[in-house]
């Protein structure tokens, strides 16, 4: 058993507690005691503020290679998508593994202990399956094992290039040709100690209603998390209404997708009926504000969704940056700009979305909290940086959410094992591997 003494720890309330002793054994938290003014003999000292492991609930690992390279010139989501397809079309399993491993290691440095990988790059060029049709998914599973974090592999069904259109170009690599072949492929994937298999409907642009019902059936039979991109762009709503007379959310409700453990990714452009449907089904909404800004998607109304009964999680999605503190504050700050009101989401609520909320929507209900029985995932953020110097216990949660950067993370423990020590990954030279993997893909 190892005891950790935290100068400050966030145990889920509005404020951080001072002097918290956390006992860890067998990868789980065995005890939590407050009011311990100094580290007892033998305890590991964690200076700063310690929080549960962060969950990055929406990731496309390969899009890390786009960073900076899509920031020149003008355009829209749709022109960005063409640039993204060009990178997707270059990847093979080895390049994918190297890029994902480095990207997940970057996440580990940022305090992420669990990633939800929304995976649709399944097949070889032109859509030809690899000898093992899950070779690309297995590359992602190998990548997290090396990087030391957990994964929920949200295997995405993707069948159409747009409503009623066949997949074209790079999209051919995404498609299994039908929902039954998709089921046949994902059935061969297995859960592991650090791996959960979940399902995804890419979007109601790329999956027809009948196939969406098939994906939902597979997810609900196995009680697996189900995610879908929902109403990221107004054009997606317009296409669905034109083709089916229904919004994407209404179509997903028709397909029974909202009845299980459902997460709507983005949920940016919703009407009142959509908000009610997601709220009444207690769906999770995964907000990805740094990507939504980057792609000029718009600002969602997350307060309205939470008030209706939905929960929140956060994702760095295209990895324009990987910093869950930036995602968390953006939910509130973007909504301030849109609403003219401050304080629509409190710091503790946002931190809950980054920890417990993300783990719950990825199928890890026993992670994301510092309490007895939970997985021993502990992230410690230094209060000595120029961003956080002068922080006091009373407002430490607010300082963390509204001013911390990913680079302030000093220590990360996953399942009781040290993964980041003094700001460095214990086994991976992350900047070097990122450089090699990104330039390798683009060469």
Q: What are phi and psi of 12, to 5 degrees?
A: 110, -10
Cβ proximity to Zn ion: between 7 and 317 the closer is 317
Question: Shortest distance, CB of residue 58 to Zn ion, whole angstroms?
Answer: 6
Alpha carbon distance 277, 254 (integer Å): 11
CB of 265 to Zn ion, least distance (A): 6
> Three-state SS for 263?
strand
DSSP assignment, residue 107?
Answer: H
In the complex, minimum distance from the CB of residue 170 to Zn ion, in angstroms, rounded to a whole number: 15
Cβ distance 96 to 140 under 8 Å?
Answer: yes
Burial class (CB in 10 A: 0-12, 13-18, 19+), 427: exposed
- Closest CB to Zn ion among 17 and 106? 106
Contact status, residue 248 vs residue 230, Cβ threshold 8 Å: yes
The residue whose Cβ lies closest to Zn ion is 317
Q: Which stretch binds Zn ion (CB under 5 A): 28-36, 132-140, 272-280, 315-323?
A: 315-323
Q: By the 8 A CB rule, do 239 and 163 touch?
A: yes
Identify whether 317 is a catalytic site residue: yes
Helical H runs in 245-357? 248-254, 272-280, 289-294, 302-308, 324-339, 347-352
Q: Give the nearer residue to Zn ion in terms of CB position, either 292 or 317.
A: 317
* CB nearer Zn ion, residue 70 or residue 382: 70
Residues comprising the chain, all counted: 443
How far apart CA 291 and CA 299 sit, in angstroms, is: 11
**Smallest gap, in angstroms, from Cβ of residue 63 to Zn ion?**
8
Nearest to 151 by CA among 102, 196, 199: 196
Interface size with Zn ion, residues (CB under 5 A): 1
User: Which of these, 122, 248, 115, 124, lies nearest to 182 by C-alpha position?
Assistant: 122
Q: Of the listed 58, 123, 229, 266, which one is catalytic?
A: 266
* Alpha carbon distance 87, 69 (integer Å): 11
Residue 136 Cβ vs Zn ion, minimum distance, rounded to whole Å: 16
The token pair at 207 is 């999956």
From the CB of 232, what's the least distance to Zn ion, in Å?
8
Per-position x/- string for 317-356, each x denoting binding to Zn ion as judged by CB under 5 A, each - no binding: x---------------------------------------
Q: Which is nearer to Zn ion, 176 or 317 (CB)?
A: 317
Q: Which C-beta is closer to Zn ion: that of 317 or that of 332? A: 317
Tell which positions 353-382 bind Zn ion, by CB under 5 A: none
Q: Which residue carries 């093992």 as its tokens?
A: 132
By beta-carbon proximity to Zn ion, the closer residue of 156 and 441 is: 156
C-alpha torsion sign, points 179, 182, 187, 193: negative
Catalytic residue among 317, 323, 377, 408: 317
At 7, is the secondary structure helix, strand, or coil? strand
User: Is residue 266 among the annotated active site residues?
Assistant: yes
Q: How far is the CB of 81 from Zn ion (least distance, A)?
A: 11
Interface contacts to Zn ion, rule CB under 5 A:
317
- Residues designated as active site: 266, 317
């Amino acid at each position: 058993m190892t005891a950790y003494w935290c100068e400050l720890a966030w145990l889920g309330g509005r404020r951080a507690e001072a002097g918290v002793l956390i006992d860890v054994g067998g990868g789980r938290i065995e005890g939590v005691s407050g009011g311990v003014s100094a580290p007892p003999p033998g305890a590991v000292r964690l200076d700063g503020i310690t929080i549960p492991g962060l969950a990055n609930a929406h990731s496309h690992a390969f899009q890390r290679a786009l960073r900076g390279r899509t920031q020149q010139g003008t355009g829209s989501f749709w022109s960005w998508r063409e640039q993204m397809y060009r990178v997707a079309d270059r990847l093979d399993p080895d390049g994918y593994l190297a890029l994902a491993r480095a990207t997940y290691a970057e996440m580990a440095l940022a305090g992420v202990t669990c990633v939800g990988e929304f995976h649709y790059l399944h097949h070889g060029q032109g859509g030809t399956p690899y000898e093992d049709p899950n070779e690309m998914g297995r590359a992602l599973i190998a990548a997290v094992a090396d990087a030391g974090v957990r994964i929920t592999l949200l295997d995405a069904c993707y069948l159409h290039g747009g409503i009623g259109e066949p997949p074209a170009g790079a999209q051919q690599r995404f498609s299994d040709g039908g929902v039954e072949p998709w089921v046949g492929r994902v059935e061969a994937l297995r859960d592991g100690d650090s791996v959960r298999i979940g399902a995804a409907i890419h979007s109601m642009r790329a999956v027809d209603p009948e196939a969406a019902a098939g994906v939902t059936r597979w997810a609900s039979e196995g009680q697996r998390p189900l995610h879908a991109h929902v109403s990221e762009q107004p054009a997606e709503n317009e296409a669905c209404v034109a083709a089916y007379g229904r919004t994407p959310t209404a179509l997903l409700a028709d397909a029974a997708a909202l009845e299980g453990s459902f997460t709507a990714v983005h949920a940016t452009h919703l009407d009142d009926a959509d908000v009610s449907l997601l709220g009444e089904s207690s769906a999770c909404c995964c907000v990805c504000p740094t990507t939504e800004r980057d792609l000029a998607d718009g600002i969602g109304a997350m307060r309205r969704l939470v008030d209706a009964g939905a929960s929140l999680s956060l994702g760095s999605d295209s990895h324009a940056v990987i910093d869950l503190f930036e995602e968390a504050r953006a939910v509130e700050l973007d909504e301030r700009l849109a609403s003219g009101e401050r304080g629509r989401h409190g710091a503790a609520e946002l931190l809950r979305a980054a920890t417990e909320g993300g783990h719950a929507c990825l199928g890890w209900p026993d992670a994301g909290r510092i309490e007895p029985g939970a997985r021993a995932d502990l992230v410690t953020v230094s209060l000595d940086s120029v961003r956080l110097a002068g922080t006091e216990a009373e407002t430490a949660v607010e300082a963390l959410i509204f001013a911390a950067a990913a680079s302030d993370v000093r220590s990360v423990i996953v399942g009781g094992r040290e993964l980041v020590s003094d700001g460095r990954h214990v086994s991976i030279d992350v900047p070097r591997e990122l450089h090699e993997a990104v330039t390798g893909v683009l060469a």
